[in-house]
Amino acid sequence: MSMRVTFLGTSGAVPTTQRNPTAIYCQREGDGFLFDCGEGTQRQMMRFGTGFSVDHIFVTHTHGDHVLGIPGLVQTMDFNERDAALAIHCPPGERSLVENLVSATGARPSFPVRVHEVSAGDVALSRDEYEIRAFDVEHRTTAVGYALVEDDRKGRFDREHAEELGVPVGPKFSALHDGNAVELDDGTVVTPDQVVGDPRPGRRVVYTGDTTPVDATVEAAADADLLVHDATFAEDRRDRAGQTGHSTAKQAGRIAQRAGAKRLALTHISSRYANDVELHRTEARESFDGELLIPDDGDTVEIPYPDGE
Ligand SMILES: [Zn+2]
Ligand SMILES: [Zn+2]
Give the pLDDT of residue 306: 84
Task: Return the ligand number nearest the Cα of 68.
Answer: 1
Instruction: Give residue 12 CA to ligand 1 midpoint distance, Å.
Output: 5
Give the pLDDT of residue 71: 97
Q: Which residues are tagged catalytic? A: 65
Instruction: Pick the closest to residue 65 from 162, 143, 129, 125 (CA basis).
Output: 143
Alpha carbon of 91 to those of 55, 196, 204: distances in Å? 18, 42, 21
Give the pLDDT of residue 107: 86
Task: Return the ligand number nearest the Cα of 268.
Answer: 1
Give the pLDDT of residue 307: 80
Task: Return the ligand number nearest the Cα of 140.
Answer: 2
Instruction: Give residue 140 CA to ligand 2 midpoint distance, Å.
Output: 7
Task: Return the ligand number nearest the Cα of 62.
Answer: 2
Give the pLDDT of residue 134: 98
Give the pLDDT of residue 309: 67
Give the pLDDT of residue 275: 78
Instruction: Give residue 176 CA to ligand 2 midpoint distance, Å.
Output: 50
Instruction: Give residue 272 CA to ligand 2 midpoint distance, Å.
Output: 16
CA angle 296, 298, 302 (to 5 degrees): 100
Give the pLDDT of residue 174: 93
Instruction: Give residue 150 CA to ligand 2 midpoint distance, Å.
Output: 28
Give, for all 309 residues of the chain, the pLDDT tens digit. Answer: 999 999 999 999 999 999 999 999 999 999 999 999 999 999 999 999 999 999 999 999 999 999 999 999 999 999 999 999 999 999 999 999 999 999 999 889 999 999 999 999 999 999 999 999 999 999 999 999 999 999 999 999 999 999 999 999 999 999 999 999 999 999 999 999 999 999 999 999 999 999 999 999 999 999 999 999 999 999 999 999 999 999 999 999 999 999 999 999 999 999 999 779 999 999 999 999 999 999 999 999 999 998 876
Instruction: Give residue 211 CA to ligand 1 midpoint distance, Å.
Output: 9
Give the pLDDT of residue 23: 98
Give the pLDDT of residue 30: 92
pTM exceeds 0.85, yes or no: yes
CA dist., res. 234 & res. 166, Å (int): 63
Give the pLDDT of residue 277: 96
